[in-house]
Structure formats: structure tokens, C-alpha cells
Structure 1
Amino acid sequence: MDFLILPERTSGNRTYGLTSVIDFGTPIGELKHILDDYGYLIDIAKIGIGSAYVTPNLRKKIELYKEYQIKPYCGGTLFEKCFYQNKVPEYLRHLRELGIDWIEISNGTLDIPLEERLQMISEIKKDFHVIAEVGSKDSNKDMDICDWKEEINLLLQAGCDYVITEGRDSGTSGIYEKSGSIKSSLIQELIKDIDSKKIIFEAPTAKHQMYFIREVGPNVNLGNVKLQDVLVLETQRRGLRSETFYVEEDECKSL
């Protein structure tokens, strides 16, 4: 159907307007069925937390994602575990053997000094596309808005393709309060001073996703999207849900 006027969406090998899903162990057969119908809506697939280390048929899963032009990578927790055990060189070698071209550098569990992360990024970017993450998984830890801005800018300057704003798969830390409510003043400040096309906002629920679509636009980069929610998210981006019904009018007003 093409008779409605809907928000224009990026397509193909997108650089923004990204949908990044989180895979917590979807079986290969089920994943194949999902991608047959909805693979064109997905840009990036994170094999969540450290699950890639114990995922059966991991190589087949990676090849399947790549068959649908989806970029797979391993969750930042696996990187942090390797960092903690001084196994980062082994981790990088394993990623190359698996054919994974993207890597997440995070400090959601460990407190890795920013200077050390920047140094690693400057070295790793020669062989990988780097995604860095800002924010802690500990909901009791909070960062000043100026610290969020500074860290994101420094990570991008160091060579990251994108920076993720921490939200967890529960939406209860980082850019969210413990209650799950969005730190809207933080988000507004970030998108005011930083190119939002370079930020992937973790938005695990429809409520979170609709906020970012209304605040940033239908081509906002969203992460930690559940595989079963991909079509609903695209429907929201297209203004075909009540909460985003007028998004195309808002887009016209901003032009």
C-alpha cells in the first residue's frame, strides 16, 4: 500500500534511522522465520549480554544475520568480562575468526577509566567498527548532563561509529530512572548539542520507543529492541499508532 502520506524513512544500508535488536538466544530456526519477514527492518543485532560465549551454533547465527545484511555484534558485557580477565587480545582474535566486524566497548558493569577506553578505541578502530556505550547499569549511579555530553563527544572523536546511551533491557538505568521513566531533560540536552544520528538510544519498550520517535523523529536510532517488536516499532515510526499518529505533521513543521 502506498496511498498514505507517511514520514519518510531511511532504507537500504542505513547510517541512521537504525533499528538495533537484542538477541537473548533466539533459536536458529525461529530466527530464520523472523528474518524472512522482517529482516529488512533490522540494521544491527546485538547478541545480548555475554550470551555469545555460550550460544550454540553461534557461527551459523552470525552468518544468518549477515545473509540479511544485518550487522551482528556481541554485547558489551562480554567485552567487559574479557577486559577484567586481561583477555581482550583473545577476544578480538575470536571476533575476527567469527567474521564479526563490529565491537562494543562499554563500562556498564566495570568502571573502566575513560582515558583507557579512548586508547583502546583508537587502536581497535583499525580493524573493527566501534560502538561505545555511556552510562552505568547500576541504577544508583548518576552522571551529570555535562559529563554525558563530554564522554559522548570524546568517544565519537576517538573514532566510534556510534555511541549507545545505556538503558538496559529493562529500561531502569542510565537514561532512565529506576521507575522506568525517561530522563527527558538529559535527552533534550543531548540532542540539542550532539548529532543524534550518531547516538543509539536504548529503548526496550514501546513506551520508550514512542517517546524518542516523538522527541527526535521517525529516523531516530533505537537499540535493545526485542525481535518480536520490530514490526510494531516500524509501525510507530510510520505514524500508524495512536501515540505517533501526528508524527508526519510534526516532521513537516520542522522543515
Structure 2
Amino acid sequence: MITTGFQGFPIPERQNKPRTRGLSMMIDWGMGIHRQSDTVASAGEYIDFAKIAAGIARFMPSDLLSEKLANYAKHGISTSPGGLFAELALKMGRYEQFVEDVIATGFTGIEVSDNLLKLSSREKSDAIGLAKKKGLKVFGEVGRKEGALDDDTLIHDVEVCLDAGSDWVFLEASELFAGNEVRGALIAELGRRFPVDKLIYELPVVVIPGITRDYKHKICAWLVKELGTEVNLANIEWDEMYITELVRRGFAGDTSHPRGAYRLAGFEPGDH
């Protein structure tokens, strides 16, 4: 628990760490140890998970990677390699050894996705179950990068992940947000069918063609407006931790958050 300044200004309340809701996953594209240390010292209270993105763990010096994972752990931040790394291991028939290596390296979690692979429900369940049996926190992921799943298929995949023992399920941004279109009906149905604390909404990442930071900010604001301050969010960059927290608290320059700081102060919707 941290003490902040300006306590006289009301903002929406948030759980302290370790949280069960309002979770934030920061994506780590291989930042150096000094930037990482500065980031967790400054914003670590708002970071619940850190993902070493894609297959970056394969390229990083092993002693540096272990040092980074230990630093995250010291600040109460769970860690996992990117889901695409696990997919490579599954494709190669090396998944069980990969899980052992993940543990030995110092990760505390693993992501099981099928962005590239076409896994059957049984194959995905088995991969999740193996990691759980080894003591890892498991993030199942549903959806494909090209946003190809219909509502029923995506919902079924969430069920598969949770039934297999996933602690949380990442919802692929490309499935939910495309241009000016938001699959609001699907998001509402997911909220009706599944515990909100189990679903983590991925924000679009700017490495994908056509995605900008202002679009990502717009999607973040929409999710907070619709699902509340303590919606679970993923793919936050190191320098977006505070702006994301501002959005969560309705303190980011607009009045869209119905229970945000500006609305608590008496601003009306649409005020500028």
C-alpha cells in the first residue's frame, strides 16, 4: 500500500496489491534493467503482471533475464513469457520441457494461446493442465491475430480455458476491436457468462499495422466506461502505466467515466 499526495481530491477506490480485480499486465519488449528498475520503483504498485513479449526470452542474456524476473517478483509482479513462445514449443513437441525451462528460469506463469496454431480443445486443455500441475499461474488466451472467430467459437474457447484450470483468460484485442468497430454485444455476453475477475481484455498494441497510441487510449477509455474502474487490462506499455491509471480513475481529460474523478467533482457528461 502506498501513500500518495493530494488526498483531498476524491477518486474511485481500487484494490491494493495483491489484487483480484482491476489487474494490469505490462508488456515488456526487452527493456534494460535500469529502465525496468525505474519503472517498478515508480509504477510497480499498478503493475500486477509483466509479460516478456513474444519470444524475447530466447534472445535475452540468461543472467539478465533472471535478474529482471527476480526484480519483478520483489515488487509483487507475476511474470510469464509470451504465448507465441509456448506455441513454438507445442509445434516442436517440446512443450513439457519448455514448461520446465520456464520454471527454472524464474517465471511464475505461462500463457497458452493459439494465435498461430490450430489447437483442438483437448490439446489446449492438456497444455493448460500440465502447466497448472507444475505450479505455474496460467493465462489462457482466446482469439487469433486476424480476428477470425465468431461469437460462439470464442465463448466456447473461454469455457475450455477456464474448465482446464486457467487462472485468467486473455481476450485477444484483434477479435474485439477493429477500426471503429467494437464487438460490444460479444463483450456484454462474456460479462454475463463468466466471472469478471477471470477475463483480461488485451489492448491493441502499436506493433500491429494501423494501431496508434491514441486508438489504444480510446479503446482503454471505452472499456473503463463500459466495464468500470477495475476491469482487467493487458498489453500496457511501461510508459503507459500512469495514463492507464488515470483512465481507470476518470482523471484523463474527459468525463466519460460515469464514476470517475471529474464526475465525482460535479462535471457533467460531455463537459470539456
Q: CA deviation at 1:138?
A: 2.2
Partner residue in 2 for 1:137: 145
Partner residue in 1 for 2:232: 221
Q: Name the CA distance, whole Å, in 2 between partners of 1:162 and 1:233.
A: 20
By relative contact order (CA 8 Å, sep 6+), the higher-ranking structure is: 1
| Residues 1-30 of structure 1: per-residue CA shift (max 9 Å, x gap) | 222232111111011110101011111111
Alignment of 1:53-202 (within 5 A): 53-56=58-61, 57-127=64-134, 128-139=136-147, 142-167=148-173, 173-177=174-178, 179=179, 181-202=181-202
Pair 1:64–1:181, CA change in 2 (3 A)? farther
Letter in 1 for 2:123: E
> What SS does the aligned partner of 1:174 have?
helix
Q: TM-score, normalised by structure 2?
A: 0.84
Q: Name the CA distance, whole Å, in 2 between partners of 1:220 and 1:244.
A: 18
Question: Cα RMSD over matched residues?
Answer: 1.9
* Contact preservation (8 Å) 2:83, 2:111: yes
Partner residue in 2 for 1:37: 42
Letter in 2 for 1:67: K
The number of residue pairs the alignment matches comes to 244
Letter in 2 for 1:75: G
Pair 1:209–1:83, CA change in 2 (3 A)? same
* Contact preservation (8 Å) 1:52, 1:58: yes
Matched-pair identity in %: 28
Letter in 1 for 2:202: E
Q: Which runs of 5+ in 2 are unaligned?
A: 1-5, 205-215, 265-272
Q: Name the CA distance, whole Å, in 1 between partners of 2:44 and 2:197.
A: 21
Letter in 1 for 2:21: Y
Partner residue in 2 for 1:23: 28
> What SS does the aligned partner of 1:242 have?
coil
Q: Which moved more, 1:109-118 or 1:228-237?
A: 109-118
Largest Rg, 1 or 2: 2
Q: Name the CA distance, whole Å, in 2 between partners of 1:116 and 1:233.
A: 35
